[in-house]
Every structure is written in C-alpha cells, then in structure tokens.
Structure 1
Amino acid sequence: MTRETEPLTIAIDGPSGSGKSSVSKAVAGRLGIGYLDTGAMYRALTWWCVDRAIDLGDHAAVAIAAADLPLELSADPEAQRVVVAGTDVTAEIRSTAISAEVSKVATNTAVRPILQQAQRDRMAAITAETGGVVAEGRDITTVVAPDALVRLLLTASEDARLRRRSAEVHGSADEHAIAATRDQVLRRDRDDSAVSQFTVAADGVVTVDTSDLDFDESVEAVLAVVASVAGHASTDAP
C-alpha cells in the first residue's frame, strides 16, 4: 500500500493554547476526513464522575467509571457533540468547573490505558467511516497512535498560548484576562506533563511552531506537512 492509498491518519499533540483543537478541526474539514478530540474524552469522564459523585481522588473508582463510560462522540469536525448517558455535555465539559478538575482524571495512571484504547478504537472506526482521521491530544503521536501516517507537535510560546486561551475563555487578551487564565493553562500543562510528553517532539514527529502564525497560517502549515509526508492535498481551496 502506498502513502497515497493508505488511510490518512493524522496525530497532533500540543500544549494548551497551541491551537491544536481549532487547527485540527479545520485540517480535518479541509481534507474531508473525521476528527477526534481525545481531550474531550477525559473531560467527559470528569463530568460523569462529578455527576455521579465519584471521588476523583479514588483512582480505582474513576478507572471503573472509565471502563463503563457511556460516551458518544461525533466525528464531524464542524459539528462536535459529546453525549454521556444520553445527556449532551458538549458545552458543560468546557466549563471552568470541569477544567479545574480534569487533570485529576487525566493524570490517573489507571485511567489512561483505558481511554487510550478507547481512542485507538474510535480512530479506527472514524477512519473506516470517512477514510481518515485527525486525532489530537497530548500523547497521540507517542502512545495512542505512534504508527499514524502523519505525526505533528503543535507548539507556541507561553505568551502566545496565554493570549489565545484568554481570548477563547474570556473574550479578551488584556492583562487582566491573561492573569486570570495563567494558572489554569500552566497548571494543566505542568500536571499533564507528569504522565505524557507533549512539549518536545518524539523521533519522527514534525514540529509546527504557531507562535507567529495566525489561524489560517497555522492550518496551511499543517496541511503543508500532510502534503509533504503523506502526499495528500486538501479537498477545498484555502
């Protein structure tokens, strides 16, 4: 099987504010393939545990919840929907309350293998359905899909990442908004770096620094890597 005929699997890792979620969705849309936000799975599990009053510090109990998580994820990059046990939690899992707790779940070493396998299964299902997948997270290039056709690390300076996340969460990137966002962004990255490597590219992973790129430029930079590595071009004009 040649690269041009091999299913187009793209793994993208990166820290908070690097642009990996928005860029990954746009890349999937341009290439006409499915999308998987693996971070949403950890957030959904966090919501599920909080909703069921499961102590997030009880690693065994959270792992049991992970194994039984009744989760539905859409693969459409333009219409993301997260449903847990019939409840649409797409917006709720992005709340400050869940953001403040999700690292407790994401750093649970009993949970990670369970969700990582679920992510592999979901990637396979999306690929079978759409001909490819863009999966993004923090350990996709190294643990979940080290054999992905294209593997990238999106990175950006701390200042750029804080400005982007502040604008996303608070609608502003002024000094006050950045200060309000700083702890959440940097603490999450610090906590998660204890269980996954997403700040330095592993062997065979291409780094794309988006510090000085706007959104459209970041998308084009990733598409250029895909074209170079896999021989695929986007299906839509820029």
Structure 2
Amino acid sequence: MSDTNGLPPVVTIDGPSGSGKGTIAKLLADRLSFSLLDSGALYRAAALAALNKEVDLSNDKLLTELAKDLDVRFTVSAGQLQVWLEESDVTADIRMERVSMAASKVAAIPGVRAALLQRQRDFRQPPGLVADGRDMGTTVFPDAPVKVYLTASAEERANRRFAQLQEKGVSVSLRDLLEDIRARDAQDMNRKASPLAPAEDAVELDSTGVSIDEVLRKVLDLVQERISP
C-alpha cells in the first residue's frame, strides 16, 4: 500500500487535548496494521526531561538543546505504546497534569519543534503510519492522503479527563480541569510555531456525544476512500 507519491501512506489525526484522537489513532493503527506515532509523547518526554533536570521552561535555548539530545524511544507491549526516557519507563509519568502543561509550553518553542521534526517523519515506514498530534497534517506530513481534525467541546473533554483520573483514584476538581483545558487550547492555538489548526484539506469530526466506534467507523471510511490497497 502506498500513496500517490510512492511513499507509505499516512493518516494524520490532529486536534486539541482530550478530543479522543489518541484512542482513535491506536484503534486505527491496530485495525490497519500501521505503525503509530504519538507525537504528543515526544513533547511530553521533552517536558518531563526538562522538569527532571530543572531546566527553566522560559529558556528557549536550553530547551532546544535538550530536545536535540533527547534520549527517548518507543516500544509497543500488548498493543499499548510505552515511552522510555533515558532507559526509564515514563509512560505513566508523561501523563501527569504538570507534564501536560509543561509540554504545551515546550511545544511552542520553534527550536524544539525543529529538533523533533525529522524524528517524527522517520516513523513513516511500510505498510503505513497513523500520526496523532496537533500539527501532523499541517507541518509534519502535509502530503498525507488522509487528514482528520478531531475535536469536542471543552466541557466534554474535561468530563472525559475527570472520569479517567477518578478511575485512577486521583482527586481533582472538574472546574480546574476545564480551566486547564481552555488555557492549553489558547496556548496551542496561538503559538507562533505550528499553531493548532485543521489542515485546509482535513476532514473535521466533532466527537462530542459520539461513541468511539462511530468515530472510528467514519475515519475508516475515509481511509477506504482515499488510500488504495
């Protein structure tokens, strides 16, 4: 299977935090037997490394150097993506709220984005790739034959995150989560480097009140239409 350029096809799934793009990307990659790129995990790993090393999050130069030398790798176990930072399993650590907020700041730095760009493109291997992020369709894989922009209301996304944290026994305020999501949206959409926005040729899907199965079906339909086996 290849796209019109003779390269392995890419399905990009962009959107704001909590829209469900990570879940859909994993299910889609499994269904298609494609590789999976969770680009957010790269930025979260960079943010965690910065926090661990106590690097000032306002120091663009130091953060760019850290990103260039980032010792991070991904493995898949039982269908789940595992993230390793300097040989430590940080899969759970990078999902902490403080890391999420730090990642949004780190990802806004042009030097950091440039340092991690080629690393993301290297994931494009046969038979294909599902890439989950915020600028996959606009910057990283602008030639992708299938581009999806998945969104949901801020309230819906806050409720989803609240339920996830409750299941893990984490006590958190729903109001605080909603404020954090809105703040992160504003930061991601207004940054100078690759701001969060749908690609001009992306299909926009709103997952508010829509089941995972229904969203997955719509994306699979797009893949069938646009990628020839």
TM-score normalized by the length of structure 1: 0.85
Partner of 1:236: none
Compute the displacement of 1:62 (Å): 0.5
Q: Name the CA distance, whole Å, in 1 between partners of 2:2 and 2:95.
A: 40
Contact 2:154/2:181, CA 8 A, preserved across alignment: no
Partner of 1:210: 207
Query: Is 1:193 the counterpart of 2:189 in the alignment?
Result: yes
Q: Name the CA distance, whole Å, in 1 between partners of 2:117 and 2:7.
A: 23
2:221 to 214, 221, 224: 224
Moved over 6 A (4+): none
Q: Secondary structure of the equivalent of 2:187?
A: helix
Q: Name the CA distance, whole Å, in 1 between partners of 2:151 and 2:118.
A: 25
Compute the displacement of 1:181 (Å): 1.0
Contact 1:150/1:226, CA 8 A, preserved across alignment: yes
1:153 to 124, 149, 172: 149
Q: Is the alpha carbon distance of 1:66 and 1:6 closer, same or farther for their aligned partners in structure 2, counting shifts above 3 Å?
A: closer
Q: Name the CA distance, whole Å, in 2 between partners of 1:206 and 1:11.
A: 10
Give the length in aligned residue pairs. Answer: 223
Q: Is the alpha carbon distance of 1:197 and 1:105 closer, same or farther for their aligned partners in structure 2, counting shifts above 3 Å?
A: closer
Partner of 1:32: 33
Name the aligned partner's letter for residue 80 of structure 1. L
Compute the displacement of 1:76 (Å): 6.6
Partner of 1:79: 80
Compute the displacement of 1:202 (Å): 2.4
TM-score normalized by the length of structure 2: 0.88
Partner of 1:140: 136
Q: Secondary structure of the equivalent of 2:64?
A: helix
Q: Secondary structure of the equivalent of 1:103?
A: helix
Q: Is the alpha carbon distance of 1:68 and 1:3 closer, same or farther for their aligned partners in structure 2, counting shifts above 3 Å?
A: closer
Q: Name the CA distance, whole Å, in 2 between partners of 1:198 and 1:51.
A: 27
Deviations 1:115-167 (A, max 9, x none): 1222112x22xx24xx1110110000000000112111111223322222222
Deviations 1:26-50 (A, max 9, x none): 0101111111100000000011111
Q: Name the CA distance, whole Å, in 2 between partners of 1:225 and 1:20.
A: 15
Two-structure CA RMSD over aligned residues (Å): 2.3
User: 1:62-211, aligned counterparts within 5 Å?
Assistant: 62-74=63-75, 78-121=79-122, 123-124=123-124, 127-128=125-126, 131-171=127-167, 177-195=173-191, 196-199=194-197, 201-211=198-208
Q: Name the CA distance, whole Å, in 2 between partners of 1:3 and 1:228.
A: 12
Q: Name the CA distance, whole Å, in 1 between partners of 2:39 and 2:115.
A: 12
Name the aligned partner's letter for residue 73 of structure 2. E
Q: Secondary structure of the equivalent of 2:37?
A: strand
Compute the displacement of 1:177 (Å): 4.5
Contact 1:153/1:198, CA 8 A, preserved across alignment: no
Q: Secondary structure of the equivalent of 2:200?
A: coil
Q: Is the alpha carbon distance of 1:88 and 1:44 closer, same or farther for their aligned partners in structure 2, counting shifts above 3 Å?
A: same
Compute the displacement of 1:2 (Å): 6.5
Q: Secondary structure of the equivalent of 1:207?
A: strand
